[in-house]
Structure 1
Amino acid sequence: MFKKDLTASTKTKVKSSIARGIRTKVLETYPLLTPHIDTIIPKKSQLDAIKLPDRVTLYVLCDASTNNKTIPLFWQHMDDPLIPHLKIVHQYPECFKSLGIDRGAIRFVLSGAALMTPGMTSKGGKLPSGEKGDEEVEEGDVVVIRAEGKDEACMVGMLEVGSEEMKKTKKGVAISQGHYLGDGLWKMQLD
């Protein structure tokens, strides 16, 4: 989705009522962000929307405390769920559902290829066990992808198939479009 370099088009100020709705949606989708929401999207701050190609909207915060530096927060494709920018994921890694990929899948993910199920079902991959505290993930859930042997998340996207089905079939596409380290969204100049 973000393979090409992106340039920021004009920013549009988000109305305060819509910003409140975005805060609510973020908390519904990512309840573990509740203690951090006032840091991520302060109530009195200006939230802006940037239109990107392929009907994607990037929500950014214009932060007065950092000389009006623009901070990417979440992006949304049409009516899909709000998906966090990897910079938010790196700041609050414990607040998101995560899966793991083996070493062999890393180069494919970082080159923009679809994330395939075998990268998560092989020995180095990690899927939820289904036990309490490690619940299964469902189709349509937004998940963070961590690479075997690495500390930082390398991708975030929406699952096209649930973890139970991944374990059964061990093949197919798990995430066809997402935001990964080094893609156009990651490199985008916002200031």
Structure 2
Amino acid sequence: MFKKESLTAGSKSKVKSSVARGIRAQVLETYPKLEPHIDEILPKKSQLDLVKLPDRVSLYVLDDTPLFYQHMDDPIIPHLKLVHQYPHAFKRLKIDRGAIRFVLSGATLMVPGLTSKGGWLPDKDDEATAGDIVAIEAEGKDEICLIGQLEIGTEEMKAKKKGVAMSAGHYLGDGLWKLDLS
């Protein structure tokens, strides 16, 4: 979604408090494990700003710190800097070493990178379904390297072992990561 070249931030506007409450509710509905931290992430009395990005992407910012982005009516997705602060609050999958360079160059995330020896998919109890927002860890690395929406569920990935897992997302070093909001 956000290629390596740098993004240029468009207009910046203040978000109405009623809209900010809606965003807060949407975040809690989508990411229930963020509830203990929501007052740190989106304080009730703070001013949330909206930055327009190319391709109809809205970036929600608090004090020049990017928090979430949303493409048109797609689900609201956290910025990787927020994911790095609260990694335990998101469903996670792991890619093998061979897939790391492809993911960090903006390629489509393929199922074999998740189902091979170094990859990891959750057990039956914590399955991810198509449409879920998941954070992707890399084998042997500490930080999350990609976040985005799954195209197929983990149960289907285990069965087929091929195909596209995620076609677009926000990854380390992309235009959104490098965006200068100051």
Q: TM-score range by the shorter chain?
A: over 0.9
Deviation, structure 1 residue 8: 1.3
Matches within 5 A, 1:55-66: 55-62=56-63
- Structure 2 residue 2 is matched with structure 1 residue 2: yes
Would you identify which runs of 4 or more consecutive aligned residues in structure 1 move more than 3 Å?
none
Backbone CA RMSD of aligned residues: 0.6
Name the CA distance, whole Å, in 1 between partners of 2:110 and 2:57. 23
Does the alignment pair 1:112 with 2:106?
Answer: yes
Q: Which runs of 5+ in 1 are unaligned?
A: 63-69
- Give the number of equivalent residue pairs: 181
Residue in 2 that maps onto 1:97: 91
Percent identity reads 71
TM superposition shift of 1:53 = 1.1
Counterpart in the other structure of 2:28: 27
Partner Cα distance (1:173, 1:52) in 2: 26
Is the contact between residue 51 and residue 60 of structure 2 (CA under 8 Å) also seen in structure 1? yes
Specify the code of the residue in structure 2 equivalent to 1:12: S
Q: What's the secondary structure of 2:124's corresponding residue? A: coil
> Which position in structure 2 is the counterpart of 1:41?
42
- Which aligned pairs between 1:145-164 and structure 2 lie closer than 5 A? 145-164=136-155
For the Cα contact (< 8 Å) 2:13–2:49, is it kept in 1? Answer: yes
The two structures have a TM-score, normalised by structure 1, of: 0.93
Gaps of 5+ in 2: none
1:34-93 deviation line (CA, Å, top 9, x unaligned): 01000001101110111111111110002xxxxxxx000000011111100000000001
Query: Tell me, what secondary structure is at the counterpart of 1:154?
Result: strand
The residue aligned with 2:122 is 128
Task: Specify the alignment match of 1:142 in structure 2.
Answer: 133
**Partner of residue 180, structure 1:** 171
